Amino acid sequence: MADKLRIALAQLNPTVGALSKNVEKGKAVIDEAVKAGADILMFPELFPTGYFPEDLLFKPQFVKKAMEAAKELAAHGRDKDISLLIPSIWVDNFQLYNAVLLAEDGNIIDWRAKHDLPNDDVFYEKRYFTPGKLPGPFNIHDVRIGVPICEDVWRKDVVECLAETGAELLLCPNGSPYWRNKHDLRMNVVVERVVESGLPMLYLNQIGGQDELVFDGASFGVNADRSLAFIGKSFEEELIITDWHRGETGWVCDTDKAEPLASNDGAPWRACVLGLRDYLHKNHFEKVVLGLSGGIDSAVVAAIAVDAIGAENVHCIMLPYKYTSEDSLKDAKDCAEMLGVRYDVVAIGDAVEAATDALAPLFAGLKPGLAEENLQSRMRGTYLMGVSNKLGSMLITTGNKSEMAVGYATIYGDMNGGFNPIKDLYKMQVYHLADWRNHNMPKNCLGPKGRVIPQPIIEKAPSAELAPDQKDQDSLPPYPVLDAILEGFVEGEKSFEEIVGEGHDPEVVAKVQKLLYIAEYKRRQAAPGPKLTKKAFGLGRKYPITNGFRDEGN
């Protein structure tokens, strides 16, 4: 019976569907773990396929090739004296499972299936998988090791069963996406299971961007006495090597490793950067283009893009019209120079006037208004898409969550683009992060140190500049008020009366609620962006477009 174990955790960034690429990444990590003398190596949830493959799981050929990939990864352990825990899809008796495979000397010798399948938030595993039976532990090096898979630790039944059937250690592979304060939530859940079972747990999480999801890593371990055993890096790949010994009361970690977690401000910035970087690279884009207006949103998006892929790969274009202020022209140029990006100015005046003249007979007798304003935005969108098509750069868009919530973005105009890095940031959060980035240099970011966003951009009143002397707050409440109301409706699912009870004007609350609901059709057509909260538009909040409900209080 082993009294010592060296357990390696592969905190990796797989690509969904890239089976061969993921296997090659896994093989390299197996070699590294063997070199480090590891007895056990565990990969994150569904590693060969990447997490989460969604309806690829309905394709028989994908399932077949995914199982072959898992077997190929297992075979790489032949003659290497290491036990591999490979979370993978698995078919048994014509049923598809989210499973973990135990491989030794190149062969898959045992497997367990995930019992508690998530069916909320962003994952609908019951759509694809059959739930496994309550599992017993694996026997690895004569140590009984339980492997609850991700959701299996969020309720107590699986860990309870593993403890009752003799488990001595718990190793938990995960595909747990980031949102604000998620690490604290994970830690609390793991500590609950450790207290209930009396067993230490190693919690492995993947990293990387997958469409709208960002996985933040930050893997960790908790000893049976609830002390922190180790913690891994946030938003970075790494092979975590941990040493354990059997003590009088069970297994104890000897590893002294505690990486600092990303801060409450640094985490959302790094999530936006990683989300954009992986979306581009995994979809084979090297460069981006965006409209730089001289406002806060486009400045922050430009800074995120530079941090993600480097200034040499970011192209910013100012598209002025007659309502564009001199301040905006100066601020946009200053921002581009601070970031070191390519910067061009392309006037849209002739095109807007031509479109206005062409439509004049149809608009005869009607006052100029929103239609004419939106022509400006749509012309900008057309020009930017032209540059994207011609130069092969992905157009990224710049609307924040406050604007997307109330529909203050022009569909087929400034909403044009393939990805929106700030889609899940409210306006005041955008301001806050701009100031934070000016005073901090985040890890694994490629932009310059120091100030990257001119202070006048942070200080001036926001405006779309689609009409003379226009300000956002001509038709919206101040952003601190708007954001508070929106967070009540969106994040808190609060009632009309609850929000009014917090001191908000009932007429303003009613207006914001109406705008929120009627803008759903726009949000359905918006570019994806990194999910930073539980209630991100799209993945985290699914409301009908046709919706007659209004909460008007009692």
Q: Known binding site: residues?
A: 176, 182, 291-298, 374, 398, 403, 522
CB atoms within 10 A of CB 435: 15
Q: How many CA atoms lie within 13 A of 150 on its CB side?
A: 26
How far apart are the C-alpha atoms of 422 and 313, rounded to whole Å?
19
How far apart are the C-alpha atoms of 533 and 524, rounded to whole Å?
18
Catalytic annotation on 497?
no
How far apart are the C-alpha atoms of 146 and 291, rounded to whole Å?
52
Q: How far is CA 419 from the centre of its chain?
A: 12
How far apart are the C-alpha atoms of 30 and 340, rounded to whole Å?
40
Whose tokens are 């140190």? That residue is 449
Whose tokens are 């009632």? That residue is 495
Amino acid at 444: N
Amino acid at 43: F
Q: Which of 25, 45, 71, 233 is the catalytic position?
A: 45
Q: Give Cβ neighbours of residue 498 (< 8 Å, ≥ 6 apart).
A: 488, 492
How far apart are the C-alpha atoms of 341 and 291, rounded to whole Å?
12
Beta bridge partners of 99: 88, 113
Instruction: Give the residue numbers of the binding site for deamido-NAD(+).
Output: 374, 403, 522
Q: How far is CA 39 from the centre of its chain?
A: 32
Q: Which of 25, 80, 114, 282 is the catalytic position?
A: 114
| Tokens of residue 90, six digits | 């698995």
Cβ atoms of 214 and 271 within 8 Å: the answer is yes
Catalytic annotation on 114?
yes
**Positive/negative CA dihedral, 538, 526, 290, 399:** negative
Cβ atoms of 220 and 203 within 8 Å: the answer is yes
Instruction: Give the residue numbers of the binding site for L-glutamine.
Output: 176, 182
Instruction: Tell which residue, 202, 192, 207, has the closest CA to residue 255.
Output: 202
| Tokens of residue 5, six digits | 């174990």
Q: How far is CA 288 from the centre of its chain?
A: 19
Cβ atoms of 158 and 170 within 8 Å: the answer is no
Q: Give Cβ neighbours of residue 227 (< 8 Å, ≥ 6 apart).
A: none
Instruction: Tell which residue, 361, 343, 359, has the closest CA to residue 351.
Output: 359
Angle between helices 326-339 and 296-309 (to 10 degrees): 10
Q: How far is CA 371 from the centre of its chain?
A: 35
Our CA angle for 252, 253, 255, nearest 5°, is: 160
How far apart are the C-alpha atoms of 216 and 206, rounded to whole Å?
7
Q: How far is CA 438 from CA 208, 313, 442, 460, in A?
A: 25, 21, 10, 16
3-state secondary structure of 8: strand
| Tokens of residue 89, six digits | 């899809």
How far apart are the C-alpha atoms of 52 and 62, rounded to whole Å?
13
3-state secondary structure of 499: helix
Q: Which of 80, 150, 316, 445 is the catalytic position?
A: 150
Mind telling me the catalytic residues? 45, 114, 150
